[in-house]
Structure 1
Amino acid sequence: MDSASTAMYAALLIASVGVAVSAAEELYRLDVFSDSGILSWSVLRFTRRRARLRSVQELADLLFRPRAFAALLVAKLAAGLSVVALTIAGSPPRPLLAALSAAVLALVLLMKRRTTFGLDGSDHMQVVVFLGATTFLVVPQDSLAATAAVLYVAAQAVLAYVVAGVAKLAGPAWRDGSALGGIMTTKIYGTRWVGEFLTGRPLLGLAACWAVILFEIGFVAALFVDQRAMWGLLAVGVLFHASTAVLMGLNGFLLAFTATYPAVAYAHHLLHAGWL
């Protein structure tokens, strides 16, 4: 991918689909955010440090009440779908797209402010992509700042994978192959038959755990191998996240992380073209 614009618009499109999907899922399970739900703000507000300014805390209490929060989710869904529609239409007005990208970024940050429970790496990666996209869209298109915005997304993606792999490498359960079997037997993230299958076959569990570790730590190689190998590694990443979506219910990872792949491909282009 040899164009910064192509890379960032592709990243923005994929990430916006992910935001729309997550908003739709949250609206479908709106009951968990009600006053009697497990993610009730009347309870969660006490798990967060209170804002120093009373007016800021009052605003948070107002925005995170059930009806207001539902409106925020609708706005998140609408903004995500609007970015998708504009991007697919081709040649979207940069100021309008920048405003929508900034709106999605603000809404994602508000979601993170409301609760830390149930969040995962996909939430962080959404922030990364929309921060990079908003920056890219407000600076001159062919400027160094625009290139830096794309490279920021690529660097964050590579760092996220490597850090995750190193963290797993430090865990005894990952090194001995029991981690995936254990995770798959949990109620929240598991698929019991898969967990039991891996637990009953220690060598297969060991191979699966080390495959994940090596993929994540080795993701940095996507920047340095030839183009065909890079696309192959990114394809493995898509399959990896698709499998976690199916088996573990981590749907957000698939679109949030693959949204960074166009930026990784652009960084690869710059490296091999001698620009970096």
Structure 2
Amino acid sequence: MPSLPRKLKSALLGPLPVSRDRALGMSERLSAVTSLTAGLEYLSRRRDWTEGGLNDWRIGRDVHARSHPLTRRFLDAISDERTTTALHLARVAASAGLLMPGNSRWRGAANVFLGLSNAALYPRHRYGTDGSDQVATLVQTATGLARLAPSPQVQDTLMWYVAMQSNLSYLISGWVKLLGKPWQDGSALSGVMRTRTYGHEGFWKLTRRYPVPARYLAHGVLALECLFPLAYARGGALARPVIGSAVAFHTANGFLMGLGRFVSSFVSMHPMVAYTSTPRTHPLVAGRDDRAVKAALIAGAGAVAAAGALAGVRRMRAADRWPGSQWVTTRHGNRLSYDIRLTRHRDTPVIVFVTGLTATPEHFGWITDKLIEESSCDILTYSRAGYGPSGYRGERPFTLQEAVDDLVDLIAAAVPEGRRVVLAGHSLGGELSRRAAAALGDRLGGIVYLDSSHPAELQRSQQQSETAQKLQAGLNMFVGSLRAGLGALLTRPEWVENLPANYRDRAFAQYADPRMWKAGIREWKATEREFRAFEGDLPPVDAHALVISAQRTVDRDPEQLLMHKELADSHRGPGRIVHTAVIEGADHDTILTKARLATEVGRRILDFHQQITRTHDTGRSGGPRTAAGVPAQPPAARQEEAR
């Protein structure tokens, strides 16, 4: 008679043998519960998708304005109120039918209908759909095709597909969480439970009262997701605890977070995991076709190789320079790539564009194109250290002063002595320009602040402070994802598509380059540290100023408008030109990247530049001076010929 420990070991460890037909039946019924619940929820809340509701199609259809006309017509037909109602009623009926006993082929047709109709209705219910609906679509389409498949080999291939998707859903979710500090230190669970959307007050209080068990529980969730594929190790020896833990995890989510459909939807993939993790020697899975695994591994290896090759091509593209680009090596050893249009024997100010955090010189494409086409202004654009072709060689802990020094050295080397400059900085670039004023002295003709940062914004703006807490995790995740080869999955963001056509490829190559995001992390750490330590008022700046704000920035955060006003006020003084403007309809990014808005900004910069030129104080003489009138020390910079 087996001993108690052996009984417990047998009950808790080992595979979960389940036949092909039983696995299909369990998956389709669990998934049917998901679609039945969803259909009843949608029908009971019709006000959300009728006129004036959260998913009013008259508004929602604007998302598909760029889609093919046939796609828009199809979505318009599906999204008609009567059609949507009829589809949900049909889905409820099909789901209820699948809960009945049986094994006939019509069940396959019902599953395919549920999968396809759910995908068709997804745009209609843009707000309110979640991961459970996506999983239901995947499982129902696969089980439906398996029911209709002519051979067991095709069925096994489809079941392996669902099982591998299940493993990936946990694996990727877990490793992405690992990049976030809250999951690393175990505070994430408490943070989720205190939210209004998914929180549970009682459980949150428990996590606060017992922080050590809460931390272990958070790390346990992380371990479950990251190590879910261990269900296949040693002939499925860990399948029972892994699948059991996953079921418990989703059940807890359903109760605590109100995600009831997550229970049936994600658990509907587990019968496929149980079937595929059982050793082939077991009678219930005898004859199972596992060729899908080899095919997936070969395809995965090919995808990894292709992703690596694509990353290499993009890296070369990101490091490539425009024809005629030049180099400057700064006092810190950083090697900056810059492009300049310089007319000799001219004394008008050169406009130097300074980018924001994780931004490229191509962001200024519309503005620089307008200045080149409609004026004879001399302009200079450059990539900061670590961005694009520019190299970072800093050996000491990075501070914003290093970026300021690089900017000053670049101007000293690239702009002829005696020529003044106008610095045009966007976001963090505005703050770097302001800090460079003292070192530039009389060489600084003016500063253009483009929706600029303010050194006190993290202290005075709650919105900026909350965003700052999430930014570091977002940057880390981006770097980690790109280094893992996931850059191949990137699609061009809208801001890239909005740039002039000849700038898009280069901008996207830098966007997909982990070096740029690594540089962004370095700069952001210094920015957050120095901004949170800022005290006092802004020092006066002896230069003209143009402060341009994006309407949506200041509308969303009125404190930002006050800080922009302070930037302007720091320049006010006898004989100085100080202008402020708000660009209607612009946000922090589109003020540069949308043609209409950016060309308006370009026009204002051009007017400002012309005003400065007309009112140039010819009484000033001598070389560059600091704001205090002390001769500026020559930077340890040298200009190198482009190679």
Q: TM-score, normalised by structure 1?
A: 0.89
Q: Aligned partners of 2:44 and 2:180: how far apart in 1?
A: 36
Q: Aligned partners of 2:185 and 2:244: how far apart in 1?
A: 27
| Partner amino acid, structure 2, of 1:73 | H
Contact 2:116 2:141 in 1 (8 A): no
Matched, 1:99 2:114: no
Question: Match of 1:133?
Answer: 143
Deviation of 1:254 after TM superposition, in Å, equals 0.5
Equivalent residues in 2 for 1:187-206, closer than 5 Å: 187-206=196-215
Specify which of 241, 249, 267 is matched with residue 258 of structure 2.
249
Q: How many residues align?
A: 269
Specify which of 52, 68, 71 is matched with residue 83 of structure 2.
68
Q: Aligned partners of 1:232 and 1:200: how far apart in 2?
A: 28
Matched, 1:52 2:62: no
Deviation of 1:226 after TM superposition, in Å, equals 5.4
| Partner amino acid, structure 2, of 1:83 | L
| Partner amino acid, structure 2, of 1:18 | T
Larger radius of gyration: 2
Q: Aligned partners of 1:84 and 1:127: how far apart in 2?
A: 17
Deviation of 1:3 after TM superposition, in Å, equals 2.4
Aligned to 2:278, what secondary structure does the other structure show? Answer: helix
Deviation readout 1:5-53 (Å, 9 max, x if unpaired): 2211221111112111111122222221121111222222123354312
Deviation of 1:242 after TM superposition, in Å, equals 0.7
Matched, 1:262 2:271: yes
The 3 A distance-change label for structure 1 pair 225 and 198 is farther
Deviation of 1:93 after TM superposition, in Å, equals 2.3
Equivalent residues in 2 for 1:216-235, closer than 5 Å: 216-225=225-234, 229-235=238-244
Structure 1, unmatched stretches of 5+, are none
Structure 2, unmatched stretches of 5+, are 1-16, 291-643
Deviation of 1:172 after TM superposition, in Å, equals 0.9
Q: Judge which range, 252-261 or 35-44, deviates more.
A: 35-44
Specify which of 39, 47, 66 is matched with residue 55 of structure 2.
39
Deviation readout 1:67-99 (Å, 9 max, x if unpaired): 3322221111111112222xx2x3x321x1221
| Partner amino acid, structure 2, of 1:80 | S
| Partner amino acid, structure 2, of 1:3 | S
Aligned to 2:53, what secondary structure does the other structure show? Answer: coil
Deviation of 1:231 after TM superposition, in Å, equals 2.2
Q: Aligned partners of 1:229 and 1:37: how far apart in 2?
A: 47
Q: Aligned partners of 1:225 and 1:196: how far apart in 2?
A: 40
Contact 1:245 1:253 in 2 (8 A): yes
| Partner amino acid, structure 1, of 2:84 | F
Specify which of 124, 128, 131 is matched with residue 118 of structure 1.
128
Name the one with the larger helix percent.
1
Q: Percent identity?
A: 25
Specify which of 209, 218, 221 is matched with residue 212 of structure 1.
221
Deviation of 1:197 after TM superposition, in Å, equals 2.9
| Partner amino acid, structure 2, of 1:207 | Y
Deviation of 1:203 after TM superposition, in Å, equals 2.2
Contact 1:223 1:271 in 2 (8 A): no
Question: Match of 1:14?
Answer: 30
Q: TM-score, normalised by structure 2?
A: 0.40
Specify which of 95, 105, 109 is matched with residue 80 of structure 1.
95
Aligned to 2:122, what secondary structure does the other structure show? Answer: helix
Q: Aligned partners of 2:118 and 2:94: how far apart in 1?
A: 11
Contact 2:132 2:262 in 1 (8 A): yes
Question: Match of 1:173?
Answer: 182
The 3 A distance-change label for structure 1 pair 223 and 205 is same
Contact 1:35 1:66 in 2 (8 A): no
The 3 A distance-change label for structure 1 pair 49 and 124 is farther
Aligned to 1:177, what secondary structure does the other structure show? Answer: coil
Deviation of 1:159 after TM superposition, in Å, equals 0.9
Name the one with the larger strand percent.
2
Question: Match of 1:109?
Answer: 119
* Greater relative contact order (Cα < 8 A, sep 6+): 1
Q: Aligned partners of 2:173 and 2:272: how far apart in 1?
A: 19
The 3 A distance-change label for structure 1 pair 66 and 184 is farther
| Partner amino acid, structure 2, of 1:58 | R
Deviation of 1:195 after TM superposition, in Å, equals 2.1
Question: Match of 1:157?
Answer: 166
